[in-house]
Amino acid sequence: MHLLDNESVAAGTRSAALAQASSVPGIPVAQPPSMDHLDELEAQSIYILREAFARLKKLALLWSLGKDSNVMIWLARKAFFGRVPFPALHVDTGKKFPEMYAFRDRFGKEWDLDLRVEPCPPIDAVDPTLPPAARSAARKTEGLKWALNKYGFDGLIAGIRRDEEATRAKERVFSPRGLEGEWDVRDQPPEFWDHFNASPPQGAHLRIHPILHWTEADIWAYTKREGIPIIPLYLAKDGKRYRSLGDQDITNPVASTASNIDEILAELDATKIPERAGRALDHETEDAFERLRVAGYL
């Protein structure tokens, strides 16, 4: 028996009252407009970003240039009324797609970001027991450690989501890391009622996950609603598109005909293929991704 509901939902759900209320100042409306799903996600993310800014001394936002971290920057601009009040850190493996670098250079300026580009160490410097793609990805973990040592950040804002991958599902919103950036999944502190553990021990840092509760479809629906720019590699060309963007050599496109966001959403609604299917490092061994994350990978 299947209860999966594939009915499409009627358009025009944000109430006219909301559209009016948000665009015409000074017109009294008796009842506040009800919040839709995206409004709720947005409000929660803004709350988390403001808590991080209030409680940590030296924050940075990890900008991977992908759809999720672009949404995160957008949310930070909403939280802080247009200005991102901490650096955007791009830990650069040097192996991203040219479209990604062009995107970074353009929007780093247009969004007035305090952009810090930090390099990663060569592959030889990384744990040789990891399988090849994971080892390649682990360069980013090392690059992150370099950047942490260089700037002394006590909080790193990262755009991971629970629905991406099973170990990420177990994350806290404020996730304490050890002195080496490692994640102690066995001893995570309790976190409830939007009260966050924000006191990292001296020399350690926190990961802050403001979009942990979003899904891939939420990201696209919000990107469309807000008009957030995206890298064109996400859209289908010659029957293929990228669902997730990483290093060129370990990221593969998926078969797709979705050439705009509406088509992406329709595709996601029907698919049963996981988002990170194109990411080689997830599939090398049963626990490769978990090992990466325990060591401090995002």
Partner 1 sequence: MNMILPTASISATPNGTTRPQVRIVIVGHVDHGKSTLVGRLLHETGSLPDGKLEMLKAVSARRGMPFEWSFLLDALQTERDQGITIDTTQIRFRTRSRDVVLIDAPGHAEFLRNMITGASQADGAVLIIDALEGVRSQTRRHGYLLHLLGVKQVAVVVNKMDRVDFSAARFNEISAEISAHLIGLGVTPTAVVPISARDGDGVAEHTPRIEWYKGPTVVEALDALEPAKPLAELPLRLPVQAIYKFDDRRIVAGRVESGSLKSGDEIVIMPTGKIAKIKTVESWPVTPVGGPQGAGRSVGITLDRELFLERGDIIGNSGASPRDTRRIRARIFWLHDKPLTKGEQILIRLGTKESRATVVAIEKAIDPGALSNEENSAIARNHVGEIDISLAQPVATDPYTDNPRTGRLVIEVNGRIAGGGLVLSVDAGRPAVPIDIVPVESALRPDERSARYHHNGAVIWLTGLPGSGKSTLARALERRLFSNGGSPILLDGDTFRAGLNSDLGFSPQDRTENIRRLAEVATHLARNGHIAIVAAVSPSSADRAAARRIADSAFREIYVATPAEVCETRDPKGHYAKARSGALQGFTGIGNDYQPPSGNELTIDTSNRSVSDATDEIERMLATTGILFDELTDLAANI
Residue ranges in 250-279 that form contacts with partner 1 under rule CB under 8 A = 260-262, 265-266, 268-269, 272-274
- Say whether residue 238 binds partner 1 (CB under 8 A): no
| In the complex, least distance from residue 69 CB atom to partner 1, rounded to whole angstroms | 16
- If one asks whether residue 51 binds partner 1 (CB under 8 A), the answer comes out as yes
Among 115-123, 147-155, 195-203, 236-244, the segment contacting partner 1 (CB under 8 A): 195-203
Per rule CB under 8 A, count of chain residues that contact partner 1: 105
One DSSP character per residue, 13-81 reads: -S-HHHHHHHHSTT---SSPPPP-HHHHHHHHHHHHHHHHHHH-SSEEEE--SSHHHHHHHHHHHHHTT
Contacts of 126 (CB under 8 A, 6+ apart): 135, 136, 138, 139, 142
H or E stretch at 135: helix 132-151
CA distance 143 to 216: 26
Place of tokens 């669902």: 243
- 206 forms beta bridges with 155, 176
Q: What is the C-alpha to C-alpha distance for residues 97 and 248, in angstroms, rounded to an integer?
A: 6
- Which of 127, 150, 152, 169 forms a contact with partner 1 (CB under 8 A)? 169
Shortest Cβ 188–partner 1 spacing (Å) = 6
> Shortest approach of partner 1 to residue 139 CB, angstroms?
23
Closest separation in Å from C-beta 98 to partner 1: 8
Contact status: 92 vs partner 1 (CB under 8 A): no
The binder of partner 1 chosen from 112, 166, 239, 257 (CB under 8 A)? 166
Question: For residue 229, what are its two tokens?
Answer: 């720019």
Contact between 125 and partner 1 per CB under 8 A = no
Smallest separation, CB 30 to partner 1 (Å)? 8
Binding segment (CB under 8 A) for partner 1, from list 123-131, 150-158, 188-196, 246-254: 188-196
Q: Which stretch binds partner 1 (CB under 8 A): 33-41, 117-125, 144-152, 238-246?
A: 33-41
CA distance 86 to 153: 10
Closer CB to partner 1, 180 or 269, in the complex: 269
- 97, 192 in Cβ contact below 8 A? no
- For partner 1, the closer of residues 143 and 153 by Cβ is 153
Rule CB under 8 A: say whether 128 interacts with partner 1. Answer: no
**Which residue shows structure tokens 């007035």?**
112
Tokens 């102690």 identify what position?
A: 184
Which span sits near partner 1 by CB under 8 A: 20-28, 112-120, 133-141, 147-155?
20-28
Other residues' Cβ atoms within 10 Å of the Cβ of residue 293: 20
Binding mask 201-230 for partner 1 (x = CB under 8 A): --------------x-xx-xx-xxxxxxxx
